[in-house]
Structure 1
Amino acid sequence: VNGLLLQSMQPVLILLLGAAVFREQVGLPQLAGIVLSISGALMIILGGNLSALVRFEFNSGDLVICVAVVVWSIYSVLLRKRPAVHPLSFLAATFVVGIAMISPFYIAEIASGRLIENRPESWLAISYVSLFPSLIAYLFFNRGVELLGSTATSLYLNIMPVIGALLAAVFLMEPIGWYHFIGMGLIGAGIVSAARKSGQAIARTYNSGPGS
């Protein structure tokens, strides 16, 4: 829950970074979209009991999530400065940097004897993470930032609690509560509000020619 709460604040951080780095002018629709989206995410994450925020306790694991949120926000904002290369080439370069940074930790795990178990479940999990969250999700997110901008695209991250609740209902038979519907409505309204300005950006991108 703490991780989801911290991640729901990511659109605000991306908005602030965009304003600080690129002097972006944020309109009222975008501000309203962020407020609605975060409110909807909190409604789902906290099960409709927003007073639970008072009992929020910060622990060492949350610091890891905070670092990840900050790094991802910086990545999202700076995407507009990426070189004019093929999306797959840019993604390959990103993977090379990621492998270089994570290799020392992976080597340390191997040295400590914590090896991947050679079972079908392990390889299926690795295959899923490699294909969907890593390759496809990054390609789509990078393109989304190119078309919508980092602020509007970040609002879609708050759809994750919605998808999580729906998947839990389908596969784990968990009940859907009234707060899920309110949260979905707020998140949807937030995305629609922020998309007013972003729709013009998409039109400009497509009208600029095949090179876009």
Structure 2
Amino acid sequence: MPEKHFAYLNLSLAMILVGSSVVAGKIMVDELPVFMASALRFALALIILLPIIRLREGGLPRLSRLTWAKLAVQSLCGSFLFTVFLLYGLTLTGPASAGVITSTTPACMGIIAWLFLKDRPSRKVLTGILLSMAGVLVINLVQAAPHGAPGGANPVLGNLLVLAAVLFESLFLLIRKTVPEPLSPMAVSTIISLFGLLWFLPMGVYEAAHTDLAAISPTGWLVVFYYGAFVTVLAYLFWFAGITKVPPSTAGVFTAIMPVAALVLSALVLGEPIGWQQLTGCACVLGGIVLISR
């Protein structure tokens, strides 16, 4: 398989797993506190990654202070802030709506690249960004109406939290391109997971001390395992293996797979109703993605 096609496959698999995190996160926050569950997730990821990188690469690489700082910020954005905003957002809105909103990631990446990487978008890209934002607006306006589709205790606030998660995820996806050292996907995944554990550990320990662990069902523990082994380890490995082989704009297009996976899994696993507002919002967002990708 050509290297470019292999990179596309890695990016696709990563986004399918990230899309599944919307469904897994909804199940997880129903049973476990956010910080405790996230700390367990990264602890499990490190239990898997550290022995492997020790055997395959002799341990963690030596990096400059600037690179360590960039990776710490990357983990703060993608591992910590993205997770916190997404999981708290899922306590207030439905996973189907959250899945649609996460599909604005390409548009968000385009805006960040324009502002900070001096990648000036064309009129077509700007139209795509506005169309993607219109999709989010449709979802929020409909769910704010008195007879809007059910989606959670406070769907508008929940959707805004998920949108903030998209911002941090976009920063997470782009920061990797600024690291000069040739790091392996295994090394980056391990370092990001290590920082992720450090960010969540203080509050995670506090929540664990005030949580009745015996009340957590086997399903809750199983979802934590899935989040750690698949959404963290495998998704990170797939993404970091692909992102270094393609331009940021190309990688951004592949994030469109994430909302499709989230919508399908929300319907199949959670029985989440997918109404016209999600379909309309998704159509707007995907239309914007098509314009951006072209």
Identify whether the pair has TM-score above 0.5, normalized to the shorter chain. Answer: yes
Aligned-partner Cα distance in 2 for 1:168–1:106: 27
Counting only pairs closer than 5 Å after superposition, residues 47-126 of structure 1 correspond to structure 2 as 49=142, 52=145, 65=162, 68-82=165-179, 83-115=181-213, 119-126=217-224
Amino acid at match of 1:80: K
- Identical residues among aligned pairs (%): 26
Residue 293 (structure 2) aligns with: 195
The CA distance in 2 between the partners of 1:171 and 1:32, in whole Å, is 34
1:25 partnered with 2:148? no
TM superposition shift of 1:168 = 4.0
In the alignment, the residues of structure 2 paired with residue 138 and residue 24 of structure 1 have an alpha-carbon distance, to the nearest angstrom, of: 25
Is contact 1:33-1:193 (8 Å) kept?
yes
How far apart are 1:194 and its partner, in Å?
A: 2.0
Is this contact kept in 1: 2:127–2:288, CA < 8 A?
A: yes
The size of the alignment, in residue pairs, is 191
Gap runs ≥5 in structure 2: 1-92, 149-153
Structure 1 length as normaliser, TM-score?
Answer: 0.64
Of 114, 124, 129, the residue aligned with 1:34 is 129
Output aligned runs, 1:162-181, within 5 Å.
162-171=260-269, 177=275, 181=279
Q: Work out the CA distance in 1 between the residues paired with 2:118 and 2:242.
A: 20
TM-score, normalising length from structure 2? 0.49
What is the rounded CA distance, in whole Å, between the counterparts of 1:64 and 1:50 in structure 2?
15
- Kept in 1, the 8 Å contact 2:135–2:285? The answer is yes
Alpha-carbon offset, residue 84 of structure 1: 1.0
RMSD of equivalent CA atoms: 4.0
Q: Pairwise mapping of residues 126-165 of structure 1 onto structure 2 (< 5 A)?
A: 126-143=224-241, 145-150=243-248, 153-154=251-252, 156-157=254-255, 160-165=258-263
8 Å CA contact 2:109–2:174 kept in 1: the answer is: yes
Deviations 1:125-183 (A, max 9, x none): 12211122212223333455445544554455465554344334434556655555554
Shift of residue 101, structure 1, vs aligned partner: 1.1
Q: Is the 8 A contact 1:37 1:158 kept in 2?
A: no
**C-alpha distance 164-95 of structure 1, shift in aligned 2 (>3 A):** closer
> What is the Cα deviation at residue 26 of structure 1?
1.5
What CA distance in whole angstroms lies between the structure 2 residues aligned with 1:29 and 1:147?
A: 25
The answer on whether the counterparts of 1:42 and 1:50 sit within 8 Å (CA) in structure 2 is: no
Which whole-Å deviations, capped at 9, do the CAs of 1:9-61 have from their partners, x for residues lacking one?
A: 55444333222322112123322333334444555x45x94885xx99975x7
| Distance across 2 between alignment mates of 1:6 and 1:187 | 8
Moved more, 3-12 or 22-31: 3-12
Distance, in Å, in 2 between the alignment partners of 1:189 and 1:12 is: 11
